[in-house]
């Protein structure tokens, strides 16, 4: 539990809806110095005002961040470093799911660009700040869908045969590999990095099919049986962000607040390191060691 007498600085992306909103509510109640990184300024400010009013916590602020634009990520990080001397917890929660193939302003396929490349650059830019903060944590919101993912480093932009779910699964496999490599690289600095699978959560992502085909409708109907609330989905990432029980635990995959074995396809260390090197080159990130 975060003590309000010594508030920890927590950066949360994608806070205005779904599990991000529930995490923001819980962290605000715990007295965190909470920074909400959101794409929509009006929604972000409205949420800040709501949380300040309902929780009595005045240490809630919003900063604008578009993870689908690398220049925007760099500007955000520069401003964040000016405002904050420490970063105790970074929660990479924001994500995308696209039915059609679309591109970010940098030419990345939108799902991979938003779910992986943007957070990759954000985390690299803020890594020195995390390393300078005792006991800092990184929580990457992943998905069990990574088990169905395939990564072709020669076509991460999915220019051939795009399909929405394989694109999403590939992005979450990239997150799994990236988190495992982060854990190795940040271990000397005492920073932990873990993946949280929130569960199959009922969020606005499933409203993307305004006129679903018969098989999409069947999928949604079957999937709805297993869906949980956003509040329930927020519990595992919150656990990784705040619980003393996982202090020092790193490189893990968690579901239902329990560490789970990582699927065999995510044990490929060669691919893991090659993905990191490619992400550095494509985003212009400069890790440089800590």
Q: Which one of the listed residues 146, 168, 239, 253 is annotated catalytic? A: 168
Sheet containing 258-260: give its strands across. Answer: 60-64, 33-38, 9-13, 89-92, 137-141, 192-197, 253-255, 258-260
What residues contact residue 276 under an 8 Å CB cut-off, 6+ apart? 177, 178, 181
The position carrying tokens 């202090």 is 247
251-258's contacts with Cβ under 8 Å and 24+ in sequence apart are 251/179, 251/180, 251/183, 251/184, 251/193, 251/194, 252/194, 252/195, 253/142, 253/176, 253/194, 253/195, 253/197, 254/194, 254/195, 254/196, 254/197, 255/144, 255/196, 255/197, 255/199, 256/199
Residue of 219, 253, 247 whose CA lies nearest to 136: 247
Q: Are 150 and 166 in contact (CB under 8 A)?
A: yes
Q: Is 148 a catalytic residue?
A: no
Strands 253-255 and 258-260: antiparallel
The total number of residues shown for the chain amounts to 290
For residue 103, the cross-strand partners are 109
- What distance in Å separates the CA atoms of residue 290 and residue 78, rounded to the nearest whole number? 18
Give the integer Cα–Cα distance in Å for 145 and 170. Answer: 8
Tell me the catalytic residues: 168
């Amino acid at each position: 539990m975060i003590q309000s007498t010594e508030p920890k600085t927590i950066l949360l992306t994608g806070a205005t809806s779904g599990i991000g909103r529930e995490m923001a509510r819980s962290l605000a109640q715990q007295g965190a110095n909470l920074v909400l990184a959101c794409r929509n300024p009006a929604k972000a400010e409205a949420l800040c005002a709501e949380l300040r009013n309902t929780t009595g916590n005045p240490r809630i602020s919003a900063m604008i961040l578009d993870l689908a634009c690398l220049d925007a990520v760099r500007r955000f990080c520069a401003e964040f470093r000016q405002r904050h001397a420490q970063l105790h917890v970074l929660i990479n929660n924001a994500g995308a799911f696209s039915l059609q193939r679309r591109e970010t302003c940098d030419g990345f396929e939108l799902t991979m660009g938003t779910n992986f490349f943007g957070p990759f650059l954000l985390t690299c830019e803020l890594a020195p700040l995390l390393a300078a903060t005792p006991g800092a944590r990184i929580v990457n919101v992943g998905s069990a869908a990574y088990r169905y993912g395939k990564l072709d480093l020669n076509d991460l932009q999915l220019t051939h045969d795009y399909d929405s779910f394989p694109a999403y699964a590939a992005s979450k496999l990239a997150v799994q590999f990236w988190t495992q490599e982060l854990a190795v690289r940040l271990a000397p600095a005492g920073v932990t990095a873990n993946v949280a699978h929130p569960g199959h959560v009922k969020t606005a992502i499933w409203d993307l099919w305004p006129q679903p085909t018969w098989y999409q409708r069947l999928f949604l109907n079957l999937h709805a049986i297993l869906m949980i609330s956003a509040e329930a989905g927020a519990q595992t990432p919150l656990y990784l962000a705040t619980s003393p029980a996982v202090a020092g635990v790193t490189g893990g995959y968690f579901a239902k607040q329990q560490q789970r074995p990582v699927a065999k396809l995510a044990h490929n260390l060669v691919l893991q390191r090659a993905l990191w090197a490619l992400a550095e080159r494509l985003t212009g990130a400069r890790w440089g060691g800590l």
